[in-house]
Structure 1
């Protein structure tokens, strides 16, 4: 997707958390690993294609992607990352890892929807906003509630280091571990 908020069927944080948990467990089981740090790029490149043979993961140059860091085209079962974002995510940059997880959120949550790109001036409620849902999924898959006992009480910087996310993302997500 493109960063534009699109009205989608409502999903609660709890429902998105459950979806992220199932996806994470499935990917971990297929890869044979269950550490706190989820290797999101490796999951997109190697693990997800083994689970869904129609899935496409593409890394495209900035000249093609332009200002888009990532795009998901659910009807084509495709996630695209801009090359510089991909490289930084591979190097462990939290913000770029979150971009990859966010795009996976669009893929998982919005693949079976008939979405029209009719943008509206109406104020979307967060749980009906495609971008909020994908951000929520990204946070939940990279800093899972299922591992809250390992994360609760830790400073946001420690969560960021353990989970490979930005300090901003860790600070926000840590509110949900209480």
Structure 2
């Protein structure tokens, strides 16, 4: 049996950044550092992407995965422990919820199944790369991150992990030591 890979429609980094900016703008959060990711997925996501059904599920339902979005049905599931962590503003869990929200906004109804063993998906067509870029842009918008002076400032202001802050600094090519 071959592995199943998913390929998303091509999106540039700028396109994904603009989508994250549009989400913030739609909810009047353009200039707010700390993005309220839990209220967004509970109350706001369905306004932007009708048909998304957000659900908190028991851990064993998803196995090792922290969350999942079904690209065919729009079912958006987050493990209960991850949801509770995001409610407590734990950086890793906030990023996971934002990542899955990216899948919900960009990939429901658009992914193609590619049943090719060892398939190589181009970066800009990789749904995981796209969702990670979206999560970074949503939680750490470029126009606000550019004013940060240290990685610690980014982690504190935006409620993200050091790993997420480092990735964002690299993506935006900001002159902050990592």
TM-score range, shorter chain: 0.7 to 0.9
Give runs of aligned pairs for residues 2-151 of structure 1, distance below 5 A: 6-26=6-26, 28-29=27-28, 34-52=31-49, 54-116=51-113, 118-151=115-148
TM-score w.r.t. length of structure 2: 0.85
CA gap of 1:55–1:17, structure 2 versus 1, over 3 A, is same
Equivalent-residue separation in structure 1 for 2:102 and 2:48 (angstroms): 16
Q: Which runs of 5+ in 1 are unaligned?
A: none
Of 135, 160, 167 in structure 1, the residue corresponding to residue 162 of structure 2 is 167
CA distances 1:88-136 after superposition (whole Å, capped 9, x unpaired): 1111111111101110111111123142252541332221211111111
Give the number of equivalent residue pairs: 170
* 1:10-67 per-position Cα deviation (integer Å, ceiling 9, x unaligned): 21111111111112211x23xx785210010111012223555532110001121221
TM-score, normalised relative to structure 1? 0.85
Distance 1:73 1:168, change over 3 A: same
What secondary structure, in the 3-state scheme, does the structure 2 residue paired with 1:63 have? helix
Alpha-carbon separation, structure 2, partners of 1:166 and 1:7: 28
When structure 1 is superposed on structure 2, of 97-106 and 54-63 the one drifting more is: 54-63
Contact 1:40/1:97 (CA < 8 Å) preserved in 2?
A: yes
Task: Tell me by how many angstroms 1:177 deviates.
Answer: 5.6
Report the Cα distance in structure 2 between the residues aligned to 1:18 and 1:40, rounded to whole angstroms: 17
Higher relative helix content: 1
- Would the aligned equivalents of 1:148 and 1:177 in 2 still touch at CA under 8 Å? no
